[in-house]
């Protein structure tokens, strides 16, 4: 068990930090797989917490579906507007920054994220595969001009935010968030890019995911089968923990800067 820091956080043993730094520091192809936990220290509640966090009235699993949107477009649209405002109001945390800085130290770094916020982008990571789309983008519900038919809502002059989802400027039907809902296929290009990346990777760094959502949760297994070394950063055990070589059981905003510092110290 690690020492406790002044906030009472369990500190991760130095030996594990240095073991992770050694493995990551010598990687030829690092893939970083992130989930909602990497944004937690920016102030964005995770899905697990959402059930009793800021979204206590809404179960993300029930609202993040095409059926929920068709049943109540304004409720779902307003929930996403609420989440967009939350993301706009926060900043990337030291965990996002450390992941971006790894690109200066290693030959190849790819971030494969389940998150729909734009915090990895704002932190400066340059090679990002977004498996579940983007909270900050909107599209025609029917992709009437082709997949995806993106719509710049800010440019819709006659749009009143109190009216729920805007009308598509092309076909007049609903505009929706450009995210992947439960029951929807992931964007073909993103999933195949992620699979290729984990098959080539020699080290996978899994940060802040419960490992419950498919097909993202299968990527660490795929990497393991291909012979990669797995490292996890998560204060709690996840579905991925049994697979990993090194588990850093602490918050990513604290642990990742420690790993980065250990790599720099070489």
Q: What residues are annotated to the active site?
A: 132
130 contacts ligand BV8 (rule: CB under 6 A)? no
Tell me which residue has its CB nearest to ligand BV8.
Answer: 37
Site residues for ligand BV8, 139-178, by CB under 6 A, read none
Applying CB under 6 A, the span of 9-17, 189-197, 219-227, 247-255 interacting with ligand BV8 comes to 247-255
Element (H, E) at 112: strand 109-113
The full DSSP string for 166-229 is: PBPTTTSSBEEEEEPPTTSPPPHHHHHHHHHHHHH-SEEEEES--S-STTTTHHHHHHHHTT-E
What's the CA angle centered on 81, arms 76 and 85, to 5 degrees? 150
Applying CB under 6 A, the span of 7-15, 67-75, 142-150, 229-237 interacting with ligand BV8 comes to 229-237
Q: How far is the CB of 40 from ligand BV8 (least distance, A)?
A: 4
40 contacts ligand BV8 (rule: CB under 6 A)? yes
Structural contact between residues 219 and 33, judged by C-beta atoms closer than 8 angstroms:
yes
The secondary structure of residue 240, as a DSSP letter, is S
Site residues for ligand BV8, 180-219, by CB under 6 A, read 180-186, 208-210, 212-215
Structural contact between residues 230 and 245, judged by C-beta atoms closer than 8 angstroms:
yes
36 contacts ligand BV8 (rule: CB under 6 A)? yes
120 contacts ligand BV8 (rule: CB under 6 A)? no
121 contacts ligand BV8 (rule: CB under 6 A)? no
46 contacts ligand BV8 (rule: CB under 6 A)? yes
Return d(Cα 65, Cα 232) in angstroms, integer.
29
Structural contact between residues 231 and 259, judged by C-beta atoms closer than 8 angstroms:
no
**Would you tell me which residues interact with ligand BV8 (CB under 6 A)?**
35-37, 40-41, 46-48, 60-61, 64, 114-116, 132, 179-186, 208-210, 212-215, 233-236, 238, 251-253
């Amino acid at each position: 068990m690690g020492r406790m820091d002044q906030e009472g956080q369990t500190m991760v043993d130095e030996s594990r930090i240095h073991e992770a730094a050694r493995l990551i520091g010598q990687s030829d192809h690092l893939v970083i797989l992130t989930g909602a936990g990497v944004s937690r220290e920016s102030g964005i509640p995770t899905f697990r917490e959402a059930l009793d966090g800021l979204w206590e009235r809404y179960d993300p699993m029930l609202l993040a579906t095409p059926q929920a949107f068709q049943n109540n477009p304004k409720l779902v649209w307003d929930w996403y507007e609420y989440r967009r405002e939350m993301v706009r109001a926060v900043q990337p945390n030291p965990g996002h920054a450390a992941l971006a800085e790894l690109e200066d130290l290693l030959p190849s770094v790819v971030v494969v994220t389940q998150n729909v916020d734009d915090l990895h982008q704002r932190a400066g990571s340059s090679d990002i595969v977004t498996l579940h789309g983007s909270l900050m983008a909107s599209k025609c519900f029917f992709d009437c001009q082709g997949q995806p038919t993106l719509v710049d809502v800010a440019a819709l002059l006659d749009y009143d935010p109190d009216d729920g989802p805007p009308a598509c400027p092309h076909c007049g039907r609903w505009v929706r968030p450009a995210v992947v809902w439960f029951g929807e296929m992931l964007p073909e290009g993103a999933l195949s890019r992620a699979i290729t990346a984990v098959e080539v990777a020699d080290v996978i760094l899994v940060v802040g995911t419960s490992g419950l959502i498919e097909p993202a949760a299968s990527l660490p297994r795929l990497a393991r089968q291909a012979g990669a070394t797995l490292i996890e950063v998560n204060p709690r055990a996840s579905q991925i923990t049994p697979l990993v070589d090194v588990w850093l059981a602490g918050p990513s905003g604290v642990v990742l800067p420690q790993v980065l510092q250990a790599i720099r110290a070489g």
